[in-house]
Amino acid sequence: MLIYNSKKFIFVHIHKCAGSSITQALDKFLQWNDIQIGGTVYGERIQKHYEQKFGLHKHSKAREIKKVVGDSIWNEYFVFSSVRHPCSRAVSFYTWINKSITKCKNEKADIWKWPITKAALATNSFSDFIRHKKFLSQSQFSYISDENNSIIVDYICRHESLEKDFSYIARNLGIDNIELPEKNTSNTNTENHLNYYKTQDDINVIVKKWREDFEKLEYEIPVLP
């Protein structure tokens, strides 16, 4: 999550939607009066303090951020977020958490407390993982909408056209020569994520779980051959 007072913008960071790459790209423009929570070494260090004091964390929803900053700031600043196809996002969760589990050697690390970790450890396939009760992540739409189910961000980057969309963001903020680094990746992309779905019923599980992402964000439901 970013609140850059120096450039008057707010970024809503949704899980597994290139948020860490966006944060890393904008990190070089961080000023003394900007707030960066999560996504970088600095952002991770200050996260617990902002969460304790203001209830804000790396993946705070738009409505939560708006409540803290107030209507005046929210309406004045340029607010954006990033989303991706729900089926791709599910695969990204799966590959990322399994890679993270393999890499983590600290038995006391927070990762072992996460519900998604429990889902990964309890299953042996992607098909079982997406059906596990501990795979709990909320819809992307819930992060960018208010209590009346209205979108309250000004612009939405799509993972499928991220470079083009982020270039628009950069121009809007008056930033030149900025590139998106690969950060916190899960080695999945638009072209190969459907390989993880073995049956149409696997697709239907994701549709049922995140139906409003398909409907509100206008993503097509894949039909397997």
14/44 same-domain check: yes
Q: What is the pLDDT of residues 55-87, one digit of tens each?
A: 999 999 999 999 999 999 999 999 999 999 999
179/148 same-domain check: yes
- Print the domain residue range for 203: 86-139+191-225
Q: What is the pLDDT of residues 120-179, one digit of tens each?
A: 999 999 999 999 999 999 999 999 999 999 999 999 999 999 999 999 999 999 998 788
202/134 same-domain check: yes
118/18 same-domain check: no
49/125 same-domain check: no
149/182 same-domain check: yes
Distance in angstroms (rounded) separating the CA atoms of residues 39 and 31: 16
Instruction: Determine contact, residues 166/22, Cβ cutoff 8 Å.
Output: yes
Q: Which residues pair with 36 in a beta bridge?
A: 2
182/203 same-domain check: no
Cα distance from N-terminal residue to C-terminal residue, the chain: 39
Pairing of strands 35-36, 78-83: unpaired
51/131 same-domain check: no
Q: What is the pLDDT of residues 16-57, one digit of tens each?
A: 999 999 999 999 999 999 999 999 999 999 999 999 999 999
CB atoms within 10 A of CB 204: 12
Nearest to 130 by CA among 222, 56, 192, 198: 198
130/200 same-domain check: yes
Amino acid letter for position 126: F
Whether 117 has a pLDDT exceeding 50, the answer reads yes
3-class state of residue 73 by DSSP: helix
10/68 same-domain check: yes
102/182 same-domain check: no
> Residues 187-202: what's their mean pLDDT?
81
3-class state of residue 120 by DSSP: helix
Nearest to 3 by CA among 48, 66, 55, 49: 66
Q: What is the pTM of this model?
A: 0.93
How many domains does one find in the chain?
2
22/49 same-domain check: yes
For 39, residues 6+ apart whose C-beta sits below 8 A from its C-beta are: 2, 13, 19, 20, 22, 23, 24, 27, 58, 183
